[in-house]
Copies of this chain bind each other. A is one copy, B any other.
């Protein structure tokens, strides 16, 4: 019973939050709701009763139940006193995400704010549910890492609803371009350029690049990879570019690299990886093919994560600000909240987006091509 009752309540709230029910719009009749959710009249009445008490709906004798006019205001007033910040990330417990979140959380808790964490698993459906929850439960501000930022976002109305309710939000790592939100990102194109240029300067000309295709970070890093080749007048072998989306993450990069290493006459001498996580996974493929890193093949990661240092080969990689990004995000969202509560005008004027400049971290997974030949010559002497 409790579940059914909550389901009806939540569904009506969702329709209000996503804008389906506008203020003073009549909601579905009791009979319609009974049919729609396959529940008893008693359940429907309980759900509606609760929403009326909470100020979401109002009843008009003989006319039906209507969406309340005061919804926005009610929500907003509740929101402002909570000292609650929501952080929405694609993943929260893996890889570099705990560091980013820890940075934000430590800063926010010092300022007396409570942080709630939500993970979308890089899935638009989950992002939608998370945003609904955030709109229902009221937060003073939201820090979002966009889900599948390189793909059209079907949840844009939820972000516009945050704006309508004056709940500030900022985006980290990437952003939905149409919304032009304040954002804290790394210059990923430059990062991809640095990865590739490092290898070209070491004499490599046959460089595989493996990039994620549904996040904007992947397409920017790939752009940097292409740019570095062009700038140094090195032709890209067309089959040297491998792309994969979130769902193909576990298999495609591994299989495609395996095929390239098996079928190429000129085996590539270097690999630019989307991130360290991928680089570590690919070390297994290289081991299987009896290729030594960096003697036979150089590998560059991205993010300078803990993984770069735990593997048997210490990875050359590009740094990611991690906890500094989290702290910066926390600072910016608090500035926005304070401006929101004080002077509401021109709130977008003072606070600005931040772009971190990436730097190459050189370790032992890369070496010059000529070294390899020298080694072989020594071997045959």
Which residues of A come within 8 Å of B, CB atoms? 18-20, 22-25, 150-152, 154, 156-158, 160-161, 163-164, 177-180, 213-214, 219, 222-223, 226-227, 235-241, 243, 245, 263-266
A154–B152 alpha-carbon span in the complex (Å): 17
Are the C-beta atoms of A219 and B178 separated by less than 8 Å? yes
Are the C-beta atoms of B25 and A263 separated by less than 8 Å? yes
A53–B227 alpha-carbon span in the complex (Å): 38
Are the C-beta atoms of B151 and A151 separated by less than 8 Å? yes
Are the C-beta atoms of A238 and B180 separated by less than 8 Å? no
A–B Cβ pairs within 8 angstroms, 27 of them: A18-B238, A19-B237, A19-B240, A22-B265, A25-B263, A25-B264, A25-B265, A151-B151, A151-B152, A152-B213, A152-B214, A152-B245, A154-B243, A156-B243, A157-B241, A160-B241, A161-B238, A163-B236, A164-B235, A164-B237, A177-B219, A178-B219, A178-B226, A179-B226, A180-B223, A180-B226, A180-B227
Which among B179, B236, B239, B245 is the interface contact of A20 at CB below 8 angstroms? B239
Q: What is the oligomeric copy number?
A: 2
Question: Which residues in B have their C-beta under 8 angstroms from that of A19?
Answer: 237-240
Question: Which residues in B have their C-beta under 8 angstroms from that of A151?
Answer: 151-152
A240–B18 alpha-carbon span in the complex (Å): 11
Are the C-beta atoms of A265 and B24 separated by less than 8 Å? yes
Question: Which residues in B have their C-beta under 8 angstroms from that of A178?
Answer: 219, 222-223, 226
Are the C-beta atoms of A238 and B164 separated by less than 8 Å? yes
Residue among A19, A164, A178, A222 with the highest chain B CB neighbour number at 10 A: A178
The 6 A-B pairs at the shortest CB distance, nearest first, are namely: A157-B238, A19-B239, A152-B213, A19-B238, A160-B238, A25-B265
Are the C-beta atoms of A265 and B23 separated by less than 8 Å? yes
Q: Residue on B with the closest CB to A218?
A: B152
Q: Residue on B with the closest CB to A227?
A: B180
Instruction: Please give the distance in Å from A29's CB to the nearest CB on chain B.
Output: 14
Instruction: Please give the distance in Å from A150's CB to the nearest CB on chain B.
Output: 6
